[in-house]
Amino acid sequence: MTDTTKDEQLSYEQARAELASVVERLEAGGTSLEESLALWERGEQLAGVCQRWLDGARARIDAARQRAGE
């Protein structure tokens, strides 16, 4: 199973929690440049997962509002 496939299986809450952990580690410092870059890249991936969940939720809300207005 690839990281992308694993990421697609994350719930919004799981992705957000891991993203918060990544940010915390980056803010704490003390990591090498290579580790910091890897954390940054992981954070970008997790932010994408969260954004896809939020976009999907927005689409569902918009569709429900449209149905309610018909």
DSSP for residue 42: H
Q: What is the pLDDT of residue 52?
A: 97
pTM: 0.84
Residue-by-residue pLDDT tens, the chain, 70 positions: 666 678 889 999 999 999 999 999 999 999 999 999 999 999 999 999 999 999 999 999 999 999 998 7
Please determine, looking at this structure, whether the domain spanning 10-69 carries the CATH number 3.40.50.
Answer: no
- Helices and strands (DSSP H and E) totals, the chain: 3, 0
Q: How far apart are CA 37 and CA 21, in angstroms?
A: 15
DSSP secondary structure code for residue 9 in this structure: T
